[in-house]
């Protein structure tokens, strides 16, 4: 059994470029970064996947004593459309927090998409793949690459991430053998205000996903946290 979670914590530059409400709610980015880290310090999952992690946020996460941190730095560095970035390190990362022995298996930005990619580690007999998938046509090739990696694994696989698509679209793109966790009717959205309110997913291959649930982050990001339990078959 492996407890997991995924959360897009929202890079500050993206928040300001897209006028996300969180930018106004949290005018002090250092304070928001500290609050994100405090939330994660209080979580109990063994593995947490994070998307849109700024360099400043990553530095804060490194203060967490419980987790080893694996990070993919994207080739693209987000740039403000106007003004100066409040970040000392505006680089963007895909991150896995892992409590327990683990080894990195893969870390790659998707071709032609320097701000999206995948990061995979093996822990507890499970291959865990964190991902951030592009909205729109590039999605098909990206899901195919994720499926290829998963099918090449010797044991069970769990995919965690912001897929920018609903469960049916993700399942169809990954193909046979992948099970996308289904939330209970009435569950809070993983992306409030989105046309597809549930675009963050836990997906299993050679395993079962139990007790998926969305945790309301009270506007700390434009996404809520999604947690679940993965049981290898």
DSSP 3-41: EEEEEE---HHHHHHTT-HHHHH---HHHHHHHHHHHHH
pTM of the model: 0.97
Q: What is the pLDDT of residue 233?
A: 83
When the pLDDT of each residue in the chain is averaged and rounded to a whole number, the result is 97
Number of H helices, E strands in the chain: 6, 12
Q: Given a cut of 90, is residue 41 above it in pLDDT?
A: yes
| 107-149 residue pLDDT tens | 999 999 999 999 999 999 999 999 999 999 999 999 999 999 9
Q: Are 204 and 156 in contact (CB under 8 A)?
A: yes
Q: Given a cut of 90, is residue 194 above it in pLDDT?
A: no
Report the pLDDT averaged over residues 75-104. Answer: 96
Q: Given a cut of 90, is residue 83 above it in pLDDT?
A: no
Residue 115: what are its φ and ψ, rounded to 5°? -120, 15
Report the pLDDT averaged over residues 24-37. Answer: 97
DSSP E strands in 154-199: the ranges are 157-162, 178-180
Instruction: Give dist(CA 211, CA 200) in Å, integer.
Output: 15
Task: Please state the length of the chain.
Answer: 233
Q: What is the pLDDT of residue 39?
A: 98
Q: Are 70 and 94 in contact (CB under 8 A)?
A: no
Residue 38 sits in a domain of what CATH number?
3.60.10.10
Q: What is the pLDDT of residue 224?
A: 98
Q: What is the pLDDT of residue 22?
A: 96
| 206-226 residue pLDDT tens | 999 999 999 999 999 999 999
How many structural domains compose the chain? 1
C-alpha R_g of the chain:
16
Domain extent at residue 15: 2-232
Q: What is the pLDDT of residue 84?
A: 87
| 145-161 residue pLDDT tens | 999 999 999 999 999 99
Report the pLDDT averaged over residues 20-49. Answer: 97
Report the pLDDT averaged over residues 182-201. Answer: 94
Q: What is the pLDDT of residue 128?
A: 98
């Amino acid at each position: 059994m492996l407890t997991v979670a995924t959360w897009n914590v929202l890079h500050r530059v993206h928040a300001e470029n897209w006028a996300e409400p969180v930018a106004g709610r949290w005018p002090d980015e250092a304070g928001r970064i500290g609050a994100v880290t405090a939330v994660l310090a209080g979580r109990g999952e063994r593995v947490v996947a994070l998307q849109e992690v700024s360099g400043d946020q990553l530095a804060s996460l490194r203060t967490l004593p419980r987790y080893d941190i694996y990070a993919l730095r994207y080739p693209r560095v987000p740039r403000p459309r106007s003004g100066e970035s409040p970040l000392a390190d505006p680089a963007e990362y895909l991150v896995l927090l892992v409590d327990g022995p683990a080894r990195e298996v893969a870390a790659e930005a998707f071709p032609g998409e320097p701000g999206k990619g995948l990061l995979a580690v093996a822990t507890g007999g499970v291959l865990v793949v964190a991902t951030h998938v592009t909205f729109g046509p590039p999605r098909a090739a990206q899901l195919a690459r994720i499926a290829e990696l998963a099918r090449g694994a010797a044991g069970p696989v769990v995919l965690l991430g912001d897929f920018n698509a609903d469960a049916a679209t993700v399942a169809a793109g990954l193909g046979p053998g992948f099970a996308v966790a289904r939330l209970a009717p009435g569950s809070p959205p993983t992306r409030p205000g989105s046309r597809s309110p549930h675009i963050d997913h836990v997906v299993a291959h050679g395993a079962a996903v139990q007790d998926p649930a969305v945790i309301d982050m009270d506007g700390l990001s434009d996404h809520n946290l999604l947690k679940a339990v993965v049981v290898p078959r």
